[in-house]
Structure formats: structure tokens, C-alpha cells
Structure 1
């Protein structure tokens, strides 16, 4: 039986696509021909996964714009946050939940970016 095997992408409208792509390349270090591209073959974590999560309100998404958020996996959250701060990128907050570490920032279009270091395999 055919099945869905993963997230294919996130697509949304911005005022200046070239500028937004440059920000993702320069600030987050991800680039690709059609926009930031993530290669899952580079993931080294234990039982890595992607998640599509649904919320009843936008409290978790705030102060992001557009009613959605992009979650990006990182291999070393503390190191990545230090890199962001060294570039004067505002980090909204960070937390360690045990199963994962999280930090948040906004892209140049106001979309909330959640950085996630998976620290435990899913149950």
C-alpha cells in the first residue's frame, strides 16, 4: 500500500522571495535551488521524525505572522543559538523539555521559526 513518507516542503507567499531566501542561507545556513533545502540523509539522530501538529488557537505561533510556524531540526541547539546571537539575530526564547531542546526566532517576514534538537527517540 502506498503511504506518505515525509514532509515535502513548506510553501508560503512573501514580499521579496530573493531576500527571504538570502536570510535563510545567511542566518540559518540552509540553501537550495528553489529555496532552503533540507536533506534528511544528513540527519544523525536516533529515530528522527518530522511532525505536523494542529493547534486550536495561535498562542504558540505568536508573535509569528500568518497562523503557522516552521520547525527546523538542529544538531546542537546551544551552539546554533550562540551562532545566531553572534550575528545579532534576536532569539525570542529557548527551553529544554527533556525530549528536546527548543529556541525561537522570526524570519524577515515575521514567520516564527522553531529550532529543535531532538534529545530522545519517540515513544
Structure 2
């Protein structure tokens, strides 16, 4: 059997206000959200999914990094929705912004500038 690196299949995030979380990920970030019911919403990412479900947020210490095509456009989009985001930081291998979603989950949006991040 050939070894293959593990692949992230999905993330599960519990939120106190599902409607607000769906609005944030769909309208503010512009991510595709499907299966939006009273008990579950699915944010479709390139190779995985982010499930949003009612419950108590438990993401203390959790940082979720998502790659985007244009970090400047995303920062402007967030600011247009009154989300407090810093100017993008250039790390050499990527430019990124870090902020909290409405439930307090720490999100990092990054635009890679090279193939692999620095170790």
C-alpha cells in the first residue's frame, strides 16, 4: 500500500446563531453555502467542507486558514461589511489577514505567493 498524506475532509463548527453564521460565510465572505436548514449549513471549500451547526462555539485556540485568489479584494469586501480587518501582512510565501468570525472563530485568509509555505 502506498502512503498518502491525510486529507482534510471537513471541519465542524458549532455556532450560537446559525442564521448569522450562514449570512457571514455566504454574504460577507462570498463562499458557497448549501444545505441551509434549521440544523445544518454546509460551506463548500475547494477540497473539503465546513459544517455549521447550532451549539456552543468551542474553537478557543483554533485558527482556520483558507486560501483565496485576491487578499486585497477579500479585505475590501470584509471592510465593506464593517468587519475590522488589518491590512494584509506579507510573509514572503503568502499575504494574509487574520480576524474573528461572528462566533469568535479565528480565521486567516491568505493568498499564497509561492508553492509551499515556509517551514
- Please give the TM-score of this superposition, normalised by the length of structure 2: 0.72
Match of 2:106 in 1: 112
Which aligned segments of 4 or more residues in structure 1 are displaced greater than 6 angstroms?
none
- Equivalent runs, 1:48-67 vs 2, <5 Å: 66-67=60-61
1:71-110, Cα deviation, whole Å (9 max, x unpaired): 1111010121112112221114531011100101111101
- Please give the TM-score of this superposition, normalised by the length of structure 1: 0.70
Structure with the higher fraction of residues in strand conformation:
2
What number of residue pairs does the alignment pair up? 99
Q: Tell me by how many angstroms 1:24 deviates.
A: 0.7
Alpha carbons 2:65, 2:108 under 8 Å: kept:
yes
Alpha carbons 2:75, 2:87 under 8 Å: kept:
no
Q: Output the CA distance in 1 between the equivalents of 2:78 and 2:14.
A: 25
Q: Output the CA distance in 1 between the equivalents of 2:74 and 2:11.
A: 22
Is 2:16 the counterpart of 1:22?
A: no
Unmatched tracts of structure 1, length 5 or more? 41-64
RMSD: 2.0
Aligned mate of 1:121, from 110, 115, 118: 115
Unmatched tracts of structure 2, length 5 or more? 36-40, 48-58
Q: Output the CA distance in 2 between the equivalents of 1:66 and 1:93.
A: 24
Match of 2:34 in 1: 32
Match of 1:84 in 2: 78
Q: Tell me by how many angstroms 1:4 deviates.
A: 4.6
SS of the aligned residue for 1:6 comes to coil
Alpha carbons 2:15, 2:103 under 8 Å: kept:
yes
